[in-house]
């Protein structure tokens, strides 16, 4: 904003109403723009009382990307990881939005898969000596870049003899992902604690790439292949778990969508138009949903609902625990493409025109909708069912947004215009 030249006041007394005009302009700036440009610190909430059935800004952080652009957001238990098109990873505090670290990831411009946060201290080798840290792993096309959680301190780069085909999951120093080498495909278990050869075990999947993100639960890891097979393996030694023919569950076509798992079930979206819900311990089919098109996106699983995006149909909400074997949707949101968050009242969804809509969780009725047009990057929050929504602009402004459902809530209204 250009500064205006100072002009001497014609009289020692200020013009009537000038103070009111200044304060009104400032209030309008805060309400509509969310603060001035270039604010590197998380914007703070005001004490303004908020109207019901609207959205409030919990925090907003400008990543100051210069010529770079925001590409994806990933929600983890206590951090938000923002990826840029230039291969930079920025870690933000999930509660307050403060920048924990921002650094380019080697190889990140070519491919940068979702981060794997271990959430436990592990002894790791380095070029000179070992170090103990809580690692976060950034898989690229051919390496695992290991940084220290919270600080971004570089620990090591784990070179791989194959290319990474899928996003990864992990725990306790182990990372599980789909890989490919010279035309062969496999599921792989990698140990980032090994100084030289990280491969703990591999499962060959001849002629079938593993591009679907695996799922991990306790001592079992689950993979989906592009041949339609679903594998359940012991994390320790890749031994098959399911007592099925060939030890696999067979779908009718390729699996490319991420798998999901909870304490009881494994959720598999296939390009044969079906969502399969399997007993994760024995692989038996519990129920399924038949869509109108190939399922390319994975299901978002909450405590009571499974949300599945179906091209040409929209976002369908399926009852998780009750219903017929051939599940029928509780409701269908034709204009929705992604679940963003859920609380005890509503499901918050992304619409085709990048608005946020609050839909009644039971009926699907639209309760209220945002009017903002500049948000282009959205994350699905399954960490907590608190209704918190995380979104960002292409220019790199990341915003945590909460619905206003109770009278007397204070804060700052957002989603009524541009935050830039």
**Residue 171 counted as domain residue:** yes
Residue 234 lies in a domain: yes
Last residue of a domain, one of 210, 245, 272: 210
Which tens digit of pLDDT belongs to each residue from 199-249? 999 999 988 999 999 999 999 999 999 999 999 999 999 999 999 999 999
DSSP annotation of 245: G
Find the mean pLDDT for residues 271-293: 98
- DSSP readout, 216-238? EETTEEEEE-TTSEEEEEETTT-
Q: How many domains, in total, are found in the chain?
A: 2
Neighbours of 201 (CB within 10 A): 18
Range of the domain at 293: 212-298
Mean pLDDT of 69-88: 98
pLDDT reported for residue 124: 97
Average pLDDT over residues 9-19: 41
The answer to whether residues 191 and 110 belong to one domain is yes
Euclidean distance between CA atoms 85 and 111, whole angstroms: 10
pLDDT for 407 equals 79
Give percent of the chain above pLDDT 70: 85
Q: What is the pLDDT of residue 408?
A: 67
Average pLDDT over residues 110-138: 95
Question: What does the pLDDT average to over 368-379?
Answer: 94
CATH at residue 175 = 2.40.128
**164 and 194 belong to one structural domain:** yes
Q: What is the pLDDT of residue 226?
A: 97
pLDDT value at residue 413: 63
What is the average pLDDT score of the chain?
89
H-helix or E-strand spanning residue 287:
strand 285-290
**Secondary structure class of 52 (helix, strand, coil):** coil
Alpha-helical regions (H) of 219-369: none
Tell me the mean pLDDT in the region 95-107. Answer: 97
Do the domain assignments include residue 310? no
Please state, in angstroms and rounded to a whole number, the distance separating the CA atoms of residues 377 and 397: 10
- Of the pLDDT bands very low, low, confident and very high (cuts 50, 70, 90), residue 27 is very low
The pLDDT, as a whole number, for residue 6 is 44
- Residue 157 and residue 6: Cα distance in Å, rounded? 56
pLDDT single digits (tens) 380-409: 999 999 999 999 999 999 999 999 998 766
| 247 is a domain residue | yes
Q: Report pLDDT digits (tens) over 302-352.
A: 999 999 999 999 999 999 999 999 999 999 999 999 999 999 999 999 999
CB atoms within 10 A of CB 290: 12
For residues 275, 329, 266 and 170, what is the CA-based torsion angle, rounded to 10 degrees?
100
Domain boundary residue among 298, 318, 349? 298
Would 90 be classed as within a structural domain?
no
pLDDT for 288 beyond 60: yes
Q: Among positive and negative, which fits the CA dihedral 298, 302, 306, 311? A: negative
Model confidence band, residue 52 (pLDDT cutoffs 50, 70, 90): confident
CA 367 to chain centre: 24
In whole angstroms, what is the distance from residue 237 CA to residue 302 CA? 30
Do residue 114 and residue 175 come from a single domain?
A: yes
Low-confidence winner among 50-64, 83-97, 157-171 (lowest mean pLDDT): 50-64
What's the mean pLDDT in 255-281?
A: 98
CATH assignment at residue 225? 2.40.10.480
In terms of C-beta density within 10 A (0-12 exposed, 13-18 middle, 19 or more buried), how is residue 312 classed? exposed
* pLDDT category of residue 25 using cuts at 50, 70 and 90: very low
> Once rounded to an integer, what is the mean pLDDT over residues 50-77?
93
The strands making up 285-290's β-sheet, listed across from edge to edge, are 260-261, 265-269, 274-279, 285-290
pLDDT over 90, % of the chain: 80
Task: Pick the last residue of a domain from 158, 181, 210.
Answer: 210
Q: Which of 205, 223, 227, 204 is nearest to 215 (CA)?
A: 223
Least confident window among 147-151, 371-375, 411-415 = 411-415
263 in the same domain as 288: yes
> 29: alpha, beta or left, given left = phi > 0 and alpha = psi -120 to 50?
alpha
Instruction: Clarify whether residues 126 and 206 are in a common domain.
Output: yes
Q: What is the pLDDT of residue 183?
A: 83
The answer to the question of residue 233 being in a domain is: yes
Task: Give me the pLDDT at residue 111, please.
Answer: 97
Q: What is the pLDDT averaged over residues 184-193?
A: 97
């Amino acid at each position: 904003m250009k500064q205006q030249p100072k002009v001497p006041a014609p009289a020692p007394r200020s013009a009537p109403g000038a103070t009111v005009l200044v304060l009104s302009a400032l209030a309008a700036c805060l309400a509509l723009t969310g603060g001035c440009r270039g604010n590197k610190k998380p914007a703070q909430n005001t004490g303004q009382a908020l109207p019901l059935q609207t959205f409030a800004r919990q925090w907003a952080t400008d990543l100051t990307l210069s010529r770079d652009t925001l590409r994806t957001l990933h929600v983890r238990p206590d951090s938000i990881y923002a990826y840029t098109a230039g291969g930079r990873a920025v870690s933000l505090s999930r509660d307050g939005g403060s920048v924990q670290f921002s650094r380019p990831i080697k190889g990140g411009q070519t491919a940068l898969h979702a981060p794997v946060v271990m959430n436990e201290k592990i002894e790791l080798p380095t070029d000179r000596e070992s170090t103990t840290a809580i690692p976060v792993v950034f898989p690229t096309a051919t390496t695992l870049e290991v940084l220290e959680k919270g600080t971004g301190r570089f620990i090591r780069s784990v070179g791989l003899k194959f290319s990474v085909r899928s996003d990864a999951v992990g725990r306790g120093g182990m990372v599980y992902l789909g890989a490919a080498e010279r035309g062969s495909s496999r599921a792989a278990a990698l140990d980032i604690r090994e100084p030289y050869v990280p491969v703990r075990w591999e499962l060959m999947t001849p002629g079938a790439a593993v591009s679907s993100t695996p799922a991990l639960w306790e001592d079992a890891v689950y993979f989906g292949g592009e041949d339609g097979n679903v594998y359940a393996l012991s994390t320790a030694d890749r031994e098959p778990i399911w007592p099925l023919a060939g030890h696999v569950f067979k779908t009718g076509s390729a699996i490319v969508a991420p798998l999901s798992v909870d304490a009881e079930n494994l959720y598999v979206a296939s390009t044969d138009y079906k969502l399969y819900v399997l007993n994760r311990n024995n692989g038996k089919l519990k129920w399924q949903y038949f869509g109108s098109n190939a399922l390319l996106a994975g299901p978002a699983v909450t405590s009571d609902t499974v949300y599945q995006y179906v091209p040409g149909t929209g976002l369908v909400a399926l009852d998780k625990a009750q219903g017929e074997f051939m599940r029928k949707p509780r409701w269908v949101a034709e204009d929705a493409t992604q679940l963003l968050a859920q609380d005890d009242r509503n499901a918050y969804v992304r619409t085709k025109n990048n608005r946020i809509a609050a839909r009644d969780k039971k009926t699907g009725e639209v309760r209220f909708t945002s009017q903002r047009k500049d948000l282009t990057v959205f994350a699905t929050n399954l960490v907590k069912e608190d209704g918190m929504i995380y979104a960002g602009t292409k220019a790199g402004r990341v915003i945590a947004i909460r619905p206003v459902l109770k009278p007397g809530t204070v804060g700052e209204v957002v989603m009524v215009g541009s935050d830039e």
